[in-house]
Amino acid sequence: MPKIKVSPVNFELFIVKRIIRSQTGKKSGANTLVNVSVMAIALSMAVMILSVVILTGFKKEIKDKLTGFGSHIQISSLSGNSSWETGAISIDEQLLQQIKKNPEISGVYQFATKPGIVQSGKELQGIILKGVEPGYNWDFFAKNLIKGKLPDLNNPDSLEVLVSKTLASLLKIDVGMKLPTYFVQDPPRMRPFKVAGIYETGLEEYDKIFVYCNLAHIREINNWESGEISGLEIRLSDPSKMDLVAQQIQDQVDRSTIQTDHLLQVKTLKDLAPGFFDFLNLTDTNVILILTLMILIAGFNMISGLLIIILDRMRMIGTLKALGTNNRSMSRIFLYQAGYIILKGLILGNIIGLTLALLQENFRIIPLDPRSYFLDSVPIYINPVHLILLNAGTLVLTLVMMLIPSAFLSRISPGKTIKFD
């Protein structure tokens, strides 16, 4: 009769399954500690998931708002520096077509900016009038429109403008009201714009100053030719490739500059709003600290839990060693059991964390002060890749930490533990 061979792995898994079954429904100090370890891992994972989805949501929302105001990449005059009173440039048609051919670019839009002063009754406020061309992507402002409608850009004679709620409150104006705007130049000029709509993004620094109109008005005020603009806004289908695409555009611009009199510069969103990106980088550091602490807490809980399990199974360990089980197999048995406990905690933690995240995403339970956080509620963005990496990383790191208590098994003597009661 042929002998049935049982591989060491199957033997170890068999022992672990028997241990788990024997613990089911059993009340003991070891089982209580195991349950505590499971809950500690679950709560740690839930906190880590919430930290990651909130951070990524916060970064995404802020970047989307900044992109809505300024796009991912801008091309402007090098002589303009940081002034909103820009000199006119003309983009070579050949250069424009080269830029548009880039597969990473989703849109290229002409724009112009002009500082001005608006008056409503006795109230005065400095603004930046931003002119955009027909065909401009209004998706961002349509999403944040709270009253009225978007300006009609197809009619060059229309004096409709889009203003923010912040500016409307300061000037005590509403949709349909006149917005006399004065431009300090020689000679001074005034345009009686009309409020078509009111938007609110939460970025008060931008909301307070930007007013949107037809590009033709700024050309007319500045006595520019029909093709002259302040610059180009370039939006990308994948924002993560912003630096790469900016370098490609810079190379194209440099080659074109040799043949023209215009000195152009290419700036990314990071260059246009460095303060916001510095702030976001600080939040990255905070989340890394939280993840590290949570993994350490889960790991130390598992170390204490596994040590108690080992002490609770001293008699079994002695018996298995007396029957010829080596230290490596014994370590695997308890590492498999630790893996089972960790997986149980991870599954429970994912359920808790994702449930809370989805509740916040759909019902906005936790509000925020827009003046401090630029958002009216805690943002959530669930990226499946982040969740997979977070779970895999936690599992691997906690299992590595389990090597510490499993090393204790090599010191256990079968002769002493068999009579352990």
Q: How confident is the model over 325-372, as pLDDT tens digits? A: 888 888 888 888 889 989 999 999 999 999 999 999 999 999 998 888
193: closest CA among 232, 167, 226, 231? 167
**Does 40 have pLDDT greater than 70?**
yes
Calculate mean pLDDT across residues 229-238: 95
- CA 312 to chain CA mean position, Å: 46
Q: Sorting pLDDT into bands at 50, 70 and 90, what band is 120?
A: confident
The sign one gets for the Cα dihedral 61, 64, 70, 73 is positive
Task: Name the strand (E) or helix (H) holding 354.
Answer: helix 327-363
Calculate mean pLDDT across residues 248-266: 81
Q: Which two tokens stand for residue 1?
A: 């009769």
Q: How far apart are CA 166 and CA 153, in angstroms?
A: 23
Q: What is the DSSP letter of 82?
A: T
Q: Sorting pLDDT into bands at 50, 70 and 90, what band is 3?
A: very low
Report percent pLDDT > 70 for the chain: 92
What is the model's pLDDT at position 372?
A: 83
Q: Which two tokens stand for residue 406?
A: 């499993």
What is the model's pLDDT at position 2?
A: 47
Q: What angle do CA 303, 309, 310 make, to 5 degrees?
A: 90
List the end-to-end C-alpha distance of the chain, in Å, as a whole number.
40
**Does 80 have pLDDT greater than 70?**
no
Calculate mean pLDDT across residues 384-413: 87
Residue-averaged pLDDT of the chain: 88
What is the model's pLDDT at position 4?
A: 43
